[in-house]
Amino acid sequence: MIATGHPEVSVERRCELLSVPRASYYRGAASGLRCGDLELMRRIDELYLEEPWMGSRSLADQLTAPEEPVGRDRVRRLMLVMGIESLSPKPGTSKRQPKHPVYPYLLRGMTIDRPNQVWATDITYIPMAKGFMYLIAIMDWATRKVLSWRLSNTLDTDFCVQALKEALFKYGAPEIFNSDQGCQFTSEKFTTVLKTWNVKISMDGKGRFVDNIFIERLWRTLKYERIYLKTYENGAELSKDLTTWFSKYNGKRKHSSLDKQTPDEAYYRGLDPLKLAA
């Protein structure tokens, strides 16, 4: 797996070090798909962004037209590739794998009002001209500041760990780190990093869309303002555009919920001056 969005090492250099042709890197995410799947996945993504509680049956019904039926099995298969599932509560979804423990939800009833009190994370699907990629972002809950992000052409754990380590080394450790129960976040690789930094681990219950509402809003804003308006030819082009967008989001977008401050302003003004001087 080769993740993009690294601040120092380019995709070209990483491909060279690993003896991987760049063409193979950019084709990787689209391998194994059938004709028409990429277009259908984009349509699924748009519907899912609006109605995240919709499952494969409902999505298939919405996507089906008299001249072009869309089967539920096909939608289910593509949702698996995209890494999404219905957020509505379902029976039997709380089973825990012995090697991937699920941690309790720690934010119930908590007032979150200062930087580095709680961080949150999520992964989303990004459509491109000839394939797709996955994007992870780590956000400071109170200030909405995006602390780090990474792109990958696979849904493995490594690019998530890279994003986490970058945020920790740049901003220090939060008190609590909240995520969903995705296998990337319950993995030993990911949780070991948090434990090493003495961070409390919190995980959403299944089907609890509101638990990560701020980062879900981030995805909605990003996709409607940027992703859906462009056609990215490769990962390097996408990474460059995301760098610009996240910089403007953090530094120039004022939020009414932050008293008309930008995420950067809210984050740095809210930090303890004594900790900054330490």
- Provide DSSP, 88-99: S--TT----BTT
Q: What is the pLDDT of residue 121?
A: 95
CA quadruple 178, 240, 8, 22: dihedral sign: positive
- Digit-by-digit pLDDT tens for the chain (278 residues) are 445 445 455 545 554 444 444 444 444 455 568 888 888 998 998 888 888 878 889 899 999 988 888 999 999 999 888 888 876 544 433 334 445 688 999 998 899 999 999 999 999 999 988 889 999 999 999 999 999 999 999 888 999 999 999 999 999 999 999 998 888 999 999 999 999 999 999 998 654 555 668 888 899 999 999 999 988 999 999 999 999 999 999 999 999 989 999 999 999 998 865 554 44
Q: What is the pLDDT of residue 48?
A: 86
Q: What is the pLDDT of residue 65?
A: 86
d(CA 68, CA 115): 50
Cα-only R_g, the chain: 19
Q: Burial letters for 168-187: b for 16+ Cβ neighbours within 10 Å, e otherwise?
A: beebeebebbbbbbbebbbb
Nearest to 29 by CA among 115, 134, 184, 168: 134
Q: What is the pLDDT of residue 122?
A: 92
Helices (H) and strands (E) in the chain, counts: 12, 6
Domains present along the chain, CATH in parentheses? 11-82 (no CATH), 118-277 (3.30.420.10)
The pTM score is 0.78
CB contact at 8 A, 142 and 113: yes
